[in-house]
Chains A and B, each alone.
Chain A
Amino acid sequence: MVSQNRVGRLAAHIALLFLALMILLPIYFTVISALSSNASLFGDALHLWPNGWHWSNFIDAWTSQPFGTYFFNSFLSNGLIVAAQIVTSTLAAYGFSFVGFRGARVAFFLTLLGMMVPTQAIFIPVYLMLAQVHLINTYAGLVLPFVGSAFGVFLLRQAFLAIPKELIAAAKVDGASHARILWSIVLPNAKAALVTLALLNFVFHYDSLFWPLIATNSTGMRTIPVALSYFMNQEAGGGPEWNLMMAADILAVIPVLILFALGQKLIVRGLTSYGVKG
């Protein structure tokens, strides 16, 4: 076996180390740049160490736009999205998994199609619809388009199917209602999958730029990615302040990195373990 081969192990270590360094390099460079003065970034020479420690860059970046508001908006709107998705996906996944009803195949196929449709292909009508009911530039406008998650339905359905069927069947024979089966058998057995879904989709929506860019137009409603994208806008006479941009970048990434650090085990376990079919 490979694992017993010493040379093989060494080669593996070298390969992994090399790739890990390649992954870390941009992050390192971003941190260096965030700590440098903007002028020193324009120097020709390569510097592997910041020119002075300009911690104030982080404060300047933070105050260059109202980042406190943006974080609040990002967390609130994406928290609501994930909460709604958990509810709709759980119900749908339960229906698909444990209620053998006619039309399920068609409904499932539709859900499957839904996973393929990118926001970018349909944003104009969605915008027009929400504009009609005056929900543009509101939290509802940020949240509503995403309350259904086709991916969530798939993921949870798969997790639900891993629950021993005998458990469900026995409860049914005992006359347990669907609500009871869902609440006391299915959900406790699918915790890992639920958390995985919540984490993955929170990160996905926290990261996404396109819809918030279009659906918000006041400072009070903007989210983090929109604020970041404004650093790149160029007009004559305004060279980008790269150091502040990188500092803002780091500030924006910290929350998801923390979530990721806390939830990595669950994400990986969730991705690897819930799919065992009975």
Chain B
Amino acid sequence: MTQTEQTIVQSNALDELRTARHLAPGRASRRARRMRLLITDATGWLFILPSLLALTVFLFVPAGYVFFLSFQRWNLISANPQYVGLHNYLHLLNAPDFQQSIINTFWFGFFMIIILLPLGLLLAVLLDMGLKGTKIYRTILFAPYVVPLVASGLAFSLMYNQSFGLIDQVLALFHISGPDWLGTSTLALPSVLAMTIWQYLGYYVIIFLAGLQNVAHALREAAAVDGANARQTFWHVILPSITPSLFFAFIICTIQAFQTFDQVYVMTQGGPAEATSTLVYYIYEQGFQMYNIGTASAASIVLLLFLALLTWFQVSLGRRWVVYD
């Protein structure tokens, strides 16, 4: 093994932590040994303290406060939060716009995964063939990843414009009257998706490329010698050996889908009729456009639950699904 994806396929990482302890050297009296262990513990915690402190103050404490706020009613400027029990959660259960945002988020994630993963893998395989110009292709494919989502959101807004956008002007050449891409409920989310795929595709290509390049070429050559054709080599040699990459890509893709905000904010503001409202956009809308801090907090807790579930899934299933070594 291993490569990029292990940075985040933590199931393995957690296992490794146990072995790290064996690095502590020495054979001494039990007492001295215990002392040394205590010092080691203190040293270890000291090393992780700055990072842990930062994460605690700016992630965990706020998350706890969000949990508190999810049982309150508050608009930020009214005097004090007012306890309302489970009211905010009950409200979410019956709120069609909240449900719409959940559906949109899953829809978005689903299509991101089924488009980005196969397409990214295909391109990585092509780039791994040692073709002329591979570097240029790779550079072009990866470039959009560094562009701010706000910037690409604005550029795509212009392309999607009904009266003078690129897409409808091209369609007009074929005498097709193009639709209002971002202004039609059924087309708006797919349009935002297309822009997101444009943005992220190169990143997935790089992930898979890293995975592929670590599949020993010897292994492939061996398969070739054994008379396997390209397709067989792909399905039986390459694919199994890059499952860690696939799993990593799957997780990252899901996270990205759950955090989708910038492009929606810039391109559609969640509209029309909530067609492009994602879970995170809903939180923003409730909290900062309607000033319902309680509802926004309850939705945040739902989001955190989804993400915690995903973490659990990643840790526990990652080990079973992914073939290492």
A61 to chain B, nearest CB (A): 12
A59 contacts partner chain B, Cβ-Cβ < 8 Å: no
Give the chain A neighbours of B198 by CB distance below 8 A. Answer: 22-23, 26
- Tell me if B131 and A12 are in contact (CB < 8 A): yes
If A157-B13, A232-B157 touch, does A92 touch B148 (CB 8 Å cutoff)? no
Report the Cα distance A245→B63, complex, angstroms.
36
- Classify the interface of chain B: helix, strand, loop or mixed: helix
Do B147 and A114 have beta carbons less than 8 Å apart? no
Beta-carbon contacts of A64-80 to B below 8 Å, as 1s and 0s? 00000000000000000
Residues of A within 8 A of B1 (CB): 277
B206 and A206 contacting across the interface, CB-CB below 8 Å: no
* Structural contact, A277 and B6, CB atoms closer than 8 A: yes
Which residues of chain A are within 8 angstroms of B14 by Cβ–Cβ distance? 105, 108-109
| C-alpha gap A118/B300 in the complex (Å) | 9
Query: For the complex, is A184 an interface residue (Cβ under 8 Å from B)?
Result: no
**Tally of B interface residues using CB under 8 Å:** 121
Q: How large is the interface on A (under 10, 10 to 19, 20 to 34, 35 or more residues)?
A: 35 or more
A96 contacts B by Cβ under 8 Å: yes
Partner of B55, one of A123, A150, A228, A231: A150
**Contacts A100-B22, A113-B308, A118-B303 given: A210-B62 contact, CB under 8 Å?**
no
Query: In the complex, which of the residues A12, A44, A100 contacts B44, with contact meaning CB atoms closer than 8 Å?
Result: A100
- Residue pair A121, B300 in contact (C-beta under 8 Å): yes
Report B-chain residues with C-beta under 8 Å of the C-beta of A191. none
Report the Cα distance A45→B21, complex, angstroms.
69
Q: How far is the CA of A1 from the CA of B136 in the complex (A)?
A: 23
Determine whether the beta carbon of B48 is less than 8 Å from that of A12.
Answer: no
Q: In the complex, are the beta carbons of A101 and B129 less than 8 A apart?
A: no
**Contact between B151 and A29, CB atoms less than 8 A apart:** no
- In Å, the complex CA distance between A117 and B308 comes to 9
Question: Given A33-B158, A148-B55, does the pair A95, B47 have CB atoms closer than 8 Å?
Answer: yes
Interface centre among A117, A209, A246, A276 (most CB of B within 10 A): A117
Q: In this assembly, does A50 line the interface, its C-beta being within 8 Å of a C-beta of chain B?
A: no
B37, B55, B265, B297: the one contacting A114 at CB < 8 Å is: B55
**Is A236 an interface residue, CB under 8 A from the partner?**
no
A101 touches B44 (CB 8 A): yes
Instruction: Kindly list the 4 A-B residue pairs having the minimum CB-CB distance in the complex, ordered from nearest.
Output: A101-B44, A148-B54, A95-B47, A100-B21
Q: Which residue of A lies closest to B119 (CB)?
A: A19
- Contact A154 B147, beta carbon cutoff 8 Å: no
Residue A164, interface by CB 8 Å: no
- Is B146 in contact with A272, judged by CB distance below 8 angstroms? no
Using known A-B contacts A92-B48, A231-B154, determine if residue A9 contacts B55 with beta carbons closer than 8 Å.
no
Q: Give B177-220 as 1s and 0s: 1 = Cβ < 8 Å from A's Cβ atoms.
A: 00000000000000000000010011000110110011000001
